[in-house]
Structure 1
Amino acid sequence: MVTCVRLERRLGLTDAAFVGLSAMVGAGIFTALAPAAGAAGPGLLPALLLAAVVAYCNASSSGRLAALYPESGGTYVYGRERLGPFWGYLAGWGFVVGKTASCAAMALTVGLYVWPAQAHLIAVVAVAALTGVNYVGVQRSAAVARVLVLAVLAVLLLVVAVCVFAGTADAGRLSVAGADAGVLQAAGLLFFAFAGYARVATLGEEVREPERTIPRAILLSLAVALAVYAAVAVAVLVVLGPALAQARAPLAEAVRVAGADWLVPVVRVGAAVAALGSLLALILGVSRTVLAMSRDRFLPRGLAAVHPRFAVPHRAELAVGAVVAVIAATADVRAAIGFSSFGVLVYYAVANASAWTLGRRIVPALGLVGCLVLALALPWRSVAAGALVLAVGAVAYLFHDRVGRVVGRP
């Protein structure tokens, strides 16, 4: 029988903020701008602003809830406590399934940048290494996240400087004339890159003075990420303009057009490092949600074990790492995780609905409506895949509930 041991509070404000930043200022900034520009046309910057507004509402709601429920699990816990077990479970299910696929895709991204011919092998090595880092303590994970984030920020600063001061830069390319409804779909795609502040909430049980630290860390990491995204988007647009939508590696293409070919390899290394940072934070977040769901017996009870020395959910981390490694070794999931954007928007819709019950309802209402609108504005394949994943989860919940009633499980 597994005893529910609580995790230790070892993270301060700076550590928590860097964990959030490692998830947000990750590989998304190197890849998300092109498909978003393809959907939005000249409306990329308005789409970025819209995604940021919805992200702020979600961050505000998550911060209030995390201060009230400083436990591992994030929105799984908030939905369970404020709306009922089903809604918490649905949020947790969507998060675990969607983000596990995201982990595998991020690991494969590392492999493709580091050694394309052996991308799957490198992906497995990356997963194993970061799972090992997480296993030996959350403080070490935060320290690694800090190094990765600072390295990525340095690369992005170089990209912005080179593009803004290039002779080919043209501020006229920032015009939003002709922007249409594609802005909504672009905002949904960009929102996925902002969603990393959820990692701070899922680590709620490991943060010192959580009532103060978590809301501050969430908003701080979101503010820095928004500033970085805005600066990079403007810099790339003034160089590439409409050609951004066709760029396979938009930041590398931007510095090449700006005449800084020497920076292209640096950008590619930066993208690999950013993907590592995102993968580190994703594994942390998924394992803590698995921990919370295991405590409630929605997942095997043994996964709720906490390491007596390192004070981490070591079995959950190893299980998540193993599943991600198998997927990354055997499948190319980069094009199959569109449902992850849908899932994360539903996840935050549950968070906003939970915050609605606390009063001060304007921000949660805006966040809830924004999440649902952006989710439905995504490409139909993403919506269909996401809805299917949630439906499977709902059926599993009903089966679990019925079995629990039969055997008299509490």
Structure 2
Amino acid sequence: MTVEQRPATGHADLRSKGLSTNSVGLLASVVLGVSSIAPVYALTATLGPTVAEVGLQMPAVFLAGFLPMLLVAYAYRELNREAPDCGTSFTWTTKAFNPYVGWLCGWGALLATIIVLSNLAGVAVSFFYLLLGEITGSESVATLGDDRFVNVLTCVAFVALATWITYRGVEVTKRLQYVLVGFQMVVLAIFAVLALAKAGDAPGSISFDVSWLDPTAISSFSAFTAGLSLSLFIYWGWDTCLTVNEETAGSARTPGRAALVTMLVIIVTYVGVAIAVQVYAGVGTEGAGLGNPDTSDNVFAALAGPVMGPGLAFLLFLAVVASSASSLQTTFLPPTRTMLAMATYGALPRRLADVHPRFLAPSTATLVAGAGTAAFYVGMTLISENVLIDTIYALGLMISFYYGLTAFACVWYFRRDLGRSARDLVFKGVLPLLGGLALAAVFVQTAIDTLDPAYGSGSSVFGVGSVFVIGIGLLVGGAVLMLLWRARHPEFFRGETLRRDTPALIIDE
């Protein structure tokens, strides 16, 4: 008879939330993941800033950013197999560590999604009016998105529409995404092919060099981490596959597989487009060069005409609108499911656990997410355009924080399984640990770098960079809210609603 200590696999404390079941298959899960990442939107927002940080090594940074995301995806897969719950990072870090770590991890995930949702809406508005201007031939219509009142009003309308669609459940979301994701991926492929085909005629074009894929050629570690922080942003969103795990057929295995497939699709897309754009435009500061602020601020807007021609340029504008709109909708899924789980286990107000009896989707949580997104965007826009820009840079801190904690949670939760087989050691231990360490390094280095007011838009608060103030300040604010909630509702923090798993005595005859 042998006695072995390992985590118990029965989770009587995990509760059904009342969501629809078997509504999402493997293909739909991958489509939701790609939609949340929003490749066209993510690229137009980060191609220019990434070149500003690392120059010709932009494709290398995209490859480097993919690695920790892939490693963390293995952690999500293993944890989902053990405890499929729509709270994902919140639930798993609570069970692996304690309720305090779990609450803060959930808070970091909520912050990241609200920031992304607000910026998605802003990009959708800008390209919506660029598209209308392209169709009507009116420059005044194309610039309507620059008018603050029009911008804010249109943004709120977009958020309201996305909230309404999400409110009606994952089935409606899924059907719409097949069209939007398929369209944007086809247009992105056409753009990349045409950019390569026309590169020889472009004034700033350069020849591809394999050294572009070498991250060691980046000038400094700070530049590397700055570029890596931006590349983490463009991969963020694949975990949507996991947040709909309770609504997925084969909830223990399908979401993890979908996350890995999503990552592979995205890395091929990103590196291919990055190389094509760099070959066509170069990284110079003149003309269409990616180092020119007029280009880097909005790469696809600057290159749509030269690359695709006047007859097809509107397709790229439409693709950005489709990418932003589709991601705006699917990105509502993670925060609503996180709030639903946190409320179910008593970590947030019970009202957020409401599920619509007809649509079988979070009702109150969806409305709160929509209102929070609109309020955040309006507030940041009215304060300063620079503040809105700095939220994108601060997003890297949020992503590193909660993804990294989830990776470490996997290693700690399965620590007594690591000696059972080579597979357990690699997929439950080594790979998640490496991913967690990489993200921890990015978090620490980014936090140090963002203390400098020159980081991001160049704004500061009492001499401290506004990116640091936004990123770290919001995380610290979460800790204060957590303590206030604990004072009024201590049950969750005492482990009464969601317990920390402890090793169980398993006796094998």
TM interval, shorter chain, is: over 0.9
**How many angstroms apart in 2 are the aligned matches of 1:407 and 1:386?**
26
Contact kept, 8 Å, 1:51 with 1:190, in 2: the verdict is yes
One-letter code aligned to 2:347: F
**How many angstroms apart in 2 are the aligned matches of 1:158 and 1:259?**
8
**How many angstroms apart in 1 are the aligned matches of 2:33 and 2:335?**
14
Q: Share of identical aligned residues, percent?
A: 23
Q: CA RMSD in A?
A: 2.3
- Taking a change above 3 Å as real, the CA distance of residues 155 and 192 of structure 1, as seen in their structure-2 partners, is same
Q: Give the 4+ runs in structure 1 shifted more than 6 A.
A: 406-409
User: Structure 2: any 5+ residue segments left out of the alignment?
Assistant: 1-14, 130-144, 284-288, 382-386, 419-424, 451-464, 497-509
Indicate whether 1:266 and 2:280 are aligned.
no
Contact kept, 8 Å, 2:85 with 2:245, in 1: the verdict is yes
Indicate whether 1:230 and 2:279 are aligned.
no
**How many angstroms apart in 2 are the aligned matches of 1:209 and 1:237?**
41
Residues 154-193 of structure 1 correspond to what in structure 2 (within 5 A)? 154-166=186-198, 167=200, 168=202, 169-172=205-208, 175-176=211-212, 178-181=217-220, 182-193=223-234
2:161 corresponds, among 119, 124, 129, to: 129
Larger radius of gyration: 2
**How many angstroms apart in 2 are the aligned matches of 1:264 and 1:353?**
45
- Taking a change above 3 Å as real, the CA distance of residues 209 and 263 of structure 1, as seen in their structure-2 partners, is same
Contact kept, 8 Å, 1:98 with 1:339, in 2: the verdict is no
**How many angstroms apart in 2 are the aligned matches of 1:25 and 1:207?**
21
Contact kept, 8 Å, 1:114 with 1:122, in 2: the verdict is no
**How many angstroms apart in 2 are the aligned matches of 1:192 and 1:255?**
23
**How many angstroms apart in 2 are the aligned matches of 1:34 and 1:195?**
18
Q: 2:26 maps to which residue?
A: 13
1:335 corresponds, among 389, 394, 401, to: 389
1:119 corresponds, among 123, 147, 151, to: 151
Residues 39-188 of structure 1 correspond to what in structure 2 (within 5 A)? 39-115=53-129, 116=145, 117=147, 118-166=150-198, 167=200, 168=202, 169-172=205-208, 175-176=211-212, 178-181=217-220, 182-188=223-229
* TM-aligned CA deviation for residue 266 of structure 1: 2.3
- Taking a change above 3 Å as real, the CA distance of residues 407 and 141 of structure 1, as seen in their structure-2 partners, is closer
- C-alpha distance after superposition, 1:222-255 (max 9, x if no partner): 1111111111101101011213233222134344
Q: 2:7 maps to which residue?
A: none
* TM-aligned CA deviation for residue 174 of structure 1: 6.2
TM-score (norm 1): 0.93
One-letter code aligned to 2:206: D
**How many angstroms apart in 2 are the aligned matches of 1:144 and 1:63?**
26
Number of paired residues? 408
Q: 1:393 maps to which residue?
A: 478
Instruction: Identify the structure with the greater helix proportion.
Output: 1
Q: 1:282 maps to which residue?
A: 331
State the SS of the aligned residue for 1:208: coil
User: Structure 1: any 5+ residue segments left out of the alignment?
Assistant: none
**How many angstroms apart in 2 are the aligned matches of 1:386 and 1:354?**
22
Contact kept, 8 Å, 1:137 with 1:311, in 2: the verdict is yes
Q: 1:369 maps to which residue?
A: 437
Contact kept, 8 Å, 1:188 with 1:377, in 2: the verdict is no
- Taking a change above 3 Å as real, the CA distance of residues 183 and 174 of structure 1, as seen in their structure-2 partners, is farther
**How many angstroms apart in 2 are the aligned matches of 1:397 and 1:212?**
32
1:34 corresponds, among 48, 51, 54, to: 48
- C-alpha distance after superposition, 1:199-231 (max 9, x if no partner): 111222111111220111101111111111111
2:35 corresponds, among 13, 22, 25, to: 22
**How many angstroms apart in 1 are the aligned matches of 2:53 and 2:113?**
24
2:368 corresponds, among 303, 319, 323, to: 319
* TM-aligned CA deviation for residue 405 of structure 1: 4.7
**How many angstroms apart in 2 are the aligned matches of 1:82 and 1:204?**
19
* TM-aligned CA deviation for residue 363 of structure 1: 0.4
Of 61-70 and 322-331, deviating more is: 322-331
**How many angstroms apart in 2 are the aligned matches of 1:374 and 1:25?**
23
Q: 1:196 maps to which residue?
A: 237
**How many angstroms apart in 2 are the aligned matches of 1:163 and 1:81?**
49
Of 270-279 and 256-265, deviating more is: 256-265
One-letter code aligned to 1:274: S
**How many angstroms apart in 2 are the aligned matches of 1:267 and 1:339?**
28
- C-alpha distance after superposition, 1:126-167 (max 9, x if no partner): 111111111112011111122111111011011101111112
Contact kept, 8 Å, 2:71 with 2:434, in 1: the verdict is yes
TM-score (norm 2): 0.75
* TM-aligned CA deviation for residue 265 of structure 1: 2.7
One-letter code aligned to 1:74: T
Of 331-340 and 22-31, deviating more is: 331-340
**How many angstroms apart in 2 are the aligned matches of 1:394 and 1:408?**
13
**How many angstroms apart in 2 are the aligned matches of 1:282 and 1:301?**
22
